[in-house]
Amino acid sequence: MRFHVGLLATAVAAGALLVGCSSTPAEELEDWWSSGGESSIKALSDTSGRVNEVSVRPMDVWSTACQELLTEVAEAKELDTLPSENARGFWEEALTAFEHGGEECVAGAGEDDQPRASEGIREVQKGIGRLASTTSMIAGDLKAK
């Protein structure tokens, strides 16, 4: 009996510590930002910008840029869920647009299908706007802290 009571007391104390140490939404966002969120957003911004740049060049260079973007999307998807409710929808839309657009760009360029590859690039460009909104929302949430 004494063992069970001691175990219960330990469990209650541990639960109280966990509840007492909960993070605020702003702290969770700061943690996400510093644990890969900031670098992922920068990498996505850089690579999607590169896709946008190469879109005015011959199609044979499109695939490489789009594949680089797909690599960054895969890495971004490994991050924890973005804790900002304001930014989360834009973030998910950006990742979806980058992934779908990148896949279409790579496939179209590989098949020498310029309309398909161009459609993929337009989807990536849509994602660039969503990523900008994500960044703006995160900045606002962090500033409001």
CATH number at residue 89: 1.20.120
- Cα separation of 82 and 91, whole Å? 8
Q: Is residue 135 part of a domain?
A: yes
Q: Do the Cβ atoms of 52 and 23 come closer than 8 Å?
A: no
Q: Is residue 9 part of a domain?
A: no
- Cα separation of 106 and 110, whole Å? 6
Q: What is the pLDDT of residue 22?
A: 61
Judged by DSSP in three states, 67 sits in helix
Report whether pLDDT(63) > 60: yes
Q: What is the pLDDT of residues 22-53, one digit of tens each?
A: 678 789 999 999 999 999 999 999 999 999 99
Q: What is the pLDDT of residue 23?
A: 76
Domain count, the chain: 1
Q: Is residue 4 part of a domain?
A: no
Q: Do the Cβ atoms of 40 and 76 come closer than 8 Å?
A: yes
Range of the domain at 139: 24-144
Q: Is residue 16 part of a domain?
A: no
Q: Do the Cβ atoms of 105 and 95 come closer than 8 Å?
A: no
